[in-house]
Amino acid sequence: MAPPRKHDTDVILDAARTLVLAEGPRAASVAAIADASGAPVGTLYHRFGNRNRVLAAAWLRALERFQDRVKAAAGEPDPLDAGVAMARAAIGFGRDLPEDARLLLSLRPSDLLDGSPDAEFGARLAGMNAPLIEHLRRIAAGLFGRDGDREVDAVSRAIVDLPYAALRRHAHASELPEWLERDVTGAARTLLESYRTA
């Protein structure tokens, strides 16, 4: 007799993401996720505890994949080059992992979960966001000579908001236009260069 199959966490989270994107958050019950992933219901409860934790894990995994790319791109020493690379990485994420991008673009955690996200989720999210905020501060300081709220907001418009809006516009296309990285990074560069001369 073959040993019982160990169900990969990614398979379970992929199934949850697919259900949410295809049929909405209410369709992603533990039973439906178990059926779609082939994992026993007991495995889901043992590994995650409840439905909220499965869906939170799927959303946070998508965010982590996005942030890993953007943080890696932020390593450019020149602040302008770092900002442009971060914008490019955001579009690359949407191209390479479109289902994760759709999940982040379409739904907030409060849309997914029964009730508000718990304190553990909030703490994890804050911890994940902190390094990106530090990169934005470093870029603002490098371009403006200071990293106040207004300066960080300005670089965020170029590095975060512009790629986000472009991805959102094309989120339901079968694939992103081949020119999107070039156009978005060109626009981000123009904005960031204007800050350097401000």
- Decide if pLDDT at 97 tops 90: yes
- Decide if pLDDT at 15 tops 50: yes
pLDDT for position 7: 63
Q: What is the pLDDT of residues 52-69, one digit of tens each?
A: 989 999 999 999 999 999
pLDDT for position 3: 36
Q: What is the pLDDT of residues 122-178, one digit of tens each?
A: 899 999 999 999 999 999 999 999 999 999 999 999 999 999 999 999 988 999 999
The better pLDDT of the pair 112, 193 is held by 193
Q: What is the pLDDT of residues 16-30, one digit of tens each?
A: 999 999 999 999 999
pLDDT for position 41: 93
DSSP per-residue letters across 114-169: SSS--HHHHHHHHHHHHHHHHHHHHHHHHHHS---HHHHHHHHIIIIIHHHHHHHH
What is the C-alpha separation between 90 and 64, in angstroms, rounded? Answer: 12
pTM over 0.75, yes/no: yes
- Decide if pLDDT at 2 tops 60: no
- Decide if pLDDT at 1 tops 80: no
